[in-house]
Structure 1
Amino acid sequence: MGQEIRKGSDTSRRTGRGGLNEFGGKNQDVARQLAWEIAAINVHFQEIRYFWAKTLGISGPQWMILMALADLDQGEGVPVKVVSKMLHVDPSFVTTQSKMLEKKGFMRRKTSEEDARVVQMSLTDKTYKHIAGLASEQEELNNFIFAEFSDRELSDLADKLAALKNRLEKASLKVAMGL
């Protein structure tokens, strides 16, 4: 006979293994499930990003650079280091990708007047127009994705995820230092 697909956690089976799992402590099964859910959500967001990127003929990571600039730029450009920090990638990656995006006419790169080591990046009018053209599709998609949440619930979820992200950054440092 075939195996039944298991949904949810199976605490009794895991408890019999002995030893602690990667989460140790409180709510181990829920924490494990949350980690898997977040990983799956990331995969789906990545698929959507690749779809939007394809409309411009660029890669998913290049799309993320453009979106970071769209969110961060206040009219003076955004330093490579700021974008790399937001995307959790090495600045050299952003430099390489931004040069490709500049060649395709999606962004401008100029040396900062205050510090010649700093490159300020900004989107071109062409890119802003393309993003504006996608706005209604993106809004419709967001309405579908977040339909179950009120504005307040969505805001609370974003706050909780931001707090979790900060804790995970600290946990990563602890692991790197050997706890």
Structure 2
Amino acid sequence: MSATRKDQARLRAIEHLDIIKRFTLEISSINSHLERVRQLWGKALGVSGPQWMILIAISDLDKDDGVPINVVSKLLHVDPSFVTTQSKLLEQKELLRRSPSPADARVVRLSLTDKTRKHLAGLAEQHKAFKKTVFEEFSEHELAEFTAKLAMLNNRLEKACLIAAMDFET
């Protein structure tokens, strides 16, 4: 079966689902595609998808003094111990530096090495092409609006998960 015939069959099946189920399936599918891309980009640097996300978070957040582990963990919605463990592995590969905060030595700040910065700069054209392919249908305003709605939905889902967890624990 060709790719377009598969897509058409998938669309016909999806049309019969209620909108909430369809939305859930689409989000799940988007997550799968993003995970695949993270794995591919990470592989180019010799790291896992989650390690790639840690490096990208640091790249986006660092303003020349490093980023605290807890800030990275909050952005990625993972436990700080996970970021701690993975950052030690990334430090061994000389992809990031871990250093104590000057204000509080208990706080570890993460920053990228020059090697990692050069690698990310080398991927800039690929990243630009990826973004164009994915987001070309959106104006900047539409994308900002859509992203804000997704963030709101994410917050509501987080609350709903807590409620569901309490329901199942009692």
Length-normalised TM-score, structure 1: 0.83
Identity of aligned residues (%): 54
How many pairs are equivalent? Answer: 159
Q: Which has the larger radius of gyration?
A: 1
Q: Kindly indicate whether residue 106 of structure 2 is the aligned counterpart of residue 117 of structure 1.
A: yes
CA distance in 2, matches of 1:155, 1:89: 24
Partner of 1:166: 155
Q: Kindly indicate whether residue 59 of structure 2 is the aligned counterpart of residue 53 of structure 1.
A: no
CA distance in 2, matches of 1:55, 1:174: 40
Partner of 1:44: 33
Deviation at 1:9, TM superposition (A): 4.2
Partner of 1:15: none
Aligned-residue RMSD, C-alpha: 1.7
Partner of 1:177: 166
Q: Kindly indicate whether residue 93 of structure 2 is the aligned counterpart of residue 104 of structure 1.
A: yes
CA-to-partner distance for each residue in 1:13-48, whole Å, 9 max, x for gaps? xxxxxxxxxxxxxxxx21111111001000000100
Q: Which amino acid aligns with 1:174?
A: I
CA distance in 2, matches of 1:132, 1:113: 29
Among residues 31, 55, 66, which one is paired with 2:20 in the alignment? 31
Deviation at 1:54, TM superposition (A): 0.8
Stretches of structure 1 that go unaligned for 5 or more consecutive residues are 12-28
- Structure 1 stretches of 4+ with a deviation exceeding 3 A read none
Among residues 7, 13, 23, which one is paired with 1:7 in the alignment? 13
Deviation at 1:10, TM superposition (A): 3.2
Partner of 1:127: 116
3-state DSSP class of the match of 1:121?
strand
Among residues 54, 60, 78, which one is paired with 1:71 in the alignment? 60
3-state DSSP class of the match of 1:148?
coil
CA-to-partner distance for each residue in 1:128-175, whole Å, 9 max, x for gaps? 111111011110111011122222221211111111111111111221
CA-to-partner distance for each residue in 1:108-145, whole Å, 9 max, x for gaps? 00111222221010111111111111011110111011
3-state DSSP class of the match of 1:108?
strand
Deviation at 1:8, TM superposition (A): 2.6
Q: Which amino acid aligns with 1:153?
A: E
Partner of 1:152: 141
Q: Which amino acid aligns with 1:167?
A: R
Stretches of structure 2 that go unaligned for 5 or more consecutive residues are 1-8
Deviation at 1:7, TM superposition (A): 2.1
